[in-house]
């Protein structure tokens, strides 16, 4: 626990994630990001009298899959409740949600502390979850000078809420939690979790208490945390503010505060007295969901390996360094690409290095300067280089056809033209000479031109061979296979 000025922070997160399903939660209206305002609506979404909700089975399945990945208990029966409130983002004046019988109970998320920033495997622990429930998203309001605009495209989209126990103890742990959760959900195809698109949203509850005490302090809920680093920054500010207040003799009042990322401060939105009573009651239009063991095991079978498990496997099975595996496992597409490439050519380290250094550099150069931690990385596909293409390139290096330097040039050519490694190398005339007859002739000539270096080498000065090698490489314009040159030279020198 990171203590500040004699106080410890306690944090609990409420994370909303849109499930990437084709249609909405209770109707067949399509849902996707980027449609023009109010295009994705129908009478059910608009809450017209006489319409009835119909469950989206895929959304329920995805929620159960999240629960299975996070070790939640999946009760046999789960039901739907109406949460009432009056606000223009919700056309029916109630939101269909889950109150006391959610789809998932308990569970936990594995997090890694301090690792990525120190380039070594950090400490791992699990953050406990309270529950995960499924509900419908609401519309989006945009406040303009002379009023507010409302867009119901998002309304009715399937949304899960993941609630943690007060089991997070620093802003950095909150950052690690959200990073891990996002990787896990992206990896399983549950959601793209793009916070800029509102696909993942987080409210953070935070309190402080004197070091050594166990009773939790009064919590403050932070809203408008629009990125993972926003959550961390907002919490840092709020923890300092609460400690400052307590030190000045004030008490913390339970309240909701808004994070202003630009100003770097939180400000009061409302206090507990203004909290509303949602009058939850079971939705009479929807049957409870029954979840059989068969259904659960079927859903479990469709789940991929978890990112941290995959990382441990890469380190153990392929002896890959930690830093490389943390990049590869931060993104499903990268690990799928990597695994496809090593199936084609079995050199995991060289392939992993090529992906994490060269390919990602190309992607970074091509994408905007937005923070990689929060932003969507441009897709590897957009480079037009396939996993098999990368495997072929590394194979050419391993066969001695290309030097590492040439491989970089060939890769740039592959990206520029979309052609195979073979074709690019051919077109650019990049090929190490591995013709030993030809190399032997050039080596002989280099020795003749360099009698001094030959004598010195024979007298025991090992390094003198480099002068001769230099001539060979110059004569071949760098295209001779250095390993072969070394072999041939040593053979010639030994035979006098």
Interface residues with ligand ADP (CB under 6 A)? 10-14, 163-166, 205-207, 216-217, 219
Q: How far is the CB of 259 from ligand ADP (least distance, A)?
A: 16
Pair 6, 210: CB distance under 8 Å: yes
Q: How far is the CB of 191 from ligand ADP (least distance, A)?
A: 20
- 213/9 Cα distance (integer angstroms): 12
Residue 204 pairs in a beta bridge with 13, 222
Query: Which of 149, 216 has the CB closer to ligand ADP?
Result: 216
Query: Which of 221, 362 has the CB closer to ligand ADP?
Result: 221
Query: Which of 15, 414 has the CB closer to ligand ADP?
Result: 15
Query: Which of 220, 402 has the CB closer to ligand ADP?
Result: 220
Minimal CA–CA distance to 290: which of 46, 88, 55, 121?
55
Close Cβ partners of 491 (under 8 Å, ≥ 6 residues apart): none
Q: How far is the CB of 13 from ligand ADP (least distance, A)?
A: 6
Close Cβ partners of 108 (under 8 Å, ≥ 6 residues apart): 70, 71, 126, 127, 128, 129
Q: How far is the CB of 163 from ligand ADP (least distance, A)?
A: 5
Query: Which of 9, 103 has the CB closer to ligand ADP?
Result: 9
- The b-or-e profile of 436-449 (16+ CB within 10 A means b, else e) is eeebbebbeebbee
- 112/128 Cα distance (integer angstroms): 14
Tell me the backbone φ, ψ of residue 298, rounded to 5 degrees: -60, -45
Q: How far is the CB of 246 from ligand ADP (least distance, A)?
A: 14
Query: Which of 151, 161 has the CB closer to ligand ADP?
Result: 161
β-pairing, 220-225 vs 255-260, is parallel
User: What's the half-sphere exposure (Cβ side, CA atoms, 13 Å) at 406?
Assistant: 28
Q: How far is the CB of 23 from ligand ADP (least distance, A)?
A: 30
- 25/59 Cα distance (integer angstroms): 7
When CB distances to ligand ADP are compared, the closest residue is 12
Pair 319, 88: CB distance under 8 Å: no
Q: How far is the CB of 209 from ligand ADP (least distance, A)?
A: 8
Q: How far is the CB of 238 from ligand ADP (least distance, A)?
A: 11
Query: Which of 220, 387 has the CB closer to ligand ADP?
Result: 220
Tell me the backbone φ, ψ of residue 337, rounded to 5 degrees: -60, -50
Query: Which of 10, 454 has the CB closer to ligand ADP?
Result: 10
* Tokens coding 210: 């004197």
């Amino acid at each position: 626990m990171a203590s500040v000025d004699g106080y410890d922070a306690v944090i609990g997160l409420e994370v909303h994630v849109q499930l990437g399903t084709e249609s909405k939660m209770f109707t067949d209206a399509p849902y996707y990001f980027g449609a023009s305002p109010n295009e994705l609506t129908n009478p059910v979404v608009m809450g017209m009298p006489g319409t009835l909700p119909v469950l989206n089975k895929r959304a329920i399945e995805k929620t159960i899959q999240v629960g299975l990945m996070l070790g939640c208990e999946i009760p046999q029966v789960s039901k739907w409740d109406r949460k009432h409130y009056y606000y223009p983002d919700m056309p029916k004046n109630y939101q269909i949600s889950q109150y006391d019988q959610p789809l998932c109970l308990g569970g936990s998320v594995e997090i890694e502390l301090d690792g990525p920033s120190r380039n070594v495997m950090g400490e791992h622990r699990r953050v406990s979850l309270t529950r995960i429930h499924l509900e419908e998203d609401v519309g989006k309001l945009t406040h303009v000078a002379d009023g507010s605009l409302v867009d119901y495209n998002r309304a009715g989209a399937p949304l899960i809420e993941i609630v943690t126990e007060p089991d997070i103890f620093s802003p950095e742990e909150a950052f690690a939690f959200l990073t891990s959760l996002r990787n896990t959900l992206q990896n399983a195809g549950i959601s793209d979790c793009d916070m800029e698109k509102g696909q993942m949203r987080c409210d953070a509850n935070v309190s402080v208490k004197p070091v050594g005490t166990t009773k939790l302090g009064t919590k403050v809920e932070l809203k408008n945390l629009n990125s993972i680093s926003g959550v961390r920054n907002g919490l840092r500010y709020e923890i300092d503010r609460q400690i400052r207040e307590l030190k000045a003799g004030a008490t913390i009042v339970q309240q909701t505060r808004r994070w202003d990322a630009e100003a770097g401060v939180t400000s009061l939105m409302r206090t507990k007295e203004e909290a509303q009573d949602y009058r939850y009651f079971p939705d009479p239009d929807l049957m409870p969901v029954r979840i059989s063991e068969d259904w659960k095991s079927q859903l479990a079978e469709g789940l991929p390996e978890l990112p941290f498990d995959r990382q441990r496997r890469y380190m153990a099975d392929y002896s890959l360094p930690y830093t490389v595996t943390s990049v590869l496992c931060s993104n499903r597409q990268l690990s799928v690409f990597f695994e496809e490439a090593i199936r084609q050519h079995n050199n995991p380290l060289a392939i992993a290095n090529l992906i994490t250094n060269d390919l990602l550099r190309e992607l970074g150069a091509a994408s905007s300067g937005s923070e990689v931690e929060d932003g969507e990385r441009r897709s590897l596909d957009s480079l037009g280089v396939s996993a098999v293409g990368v495997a072929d390139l590394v194979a050419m290096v391993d066969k001695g056809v290309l030097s590492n330097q040439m491989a970089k040039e060939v890769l740039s050519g592959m990206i520029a033209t979309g052609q195979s490694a073979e074709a690019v190398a051919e077109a650019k005339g990049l090929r190490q000479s591995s013709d030993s007859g030809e190399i032997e002739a050039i080596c002989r000539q280099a020795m003749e031109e360099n009698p001094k270096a030959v004598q010195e080498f024979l007298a025991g000065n090992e390094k003198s061979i480099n002068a001769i090698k230099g001539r060979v490489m110059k004569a071949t314009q760098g295209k001779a296979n250095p390993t072969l040159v070394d072999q041939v030279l040593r053979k010639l020198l030994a035979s006098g």
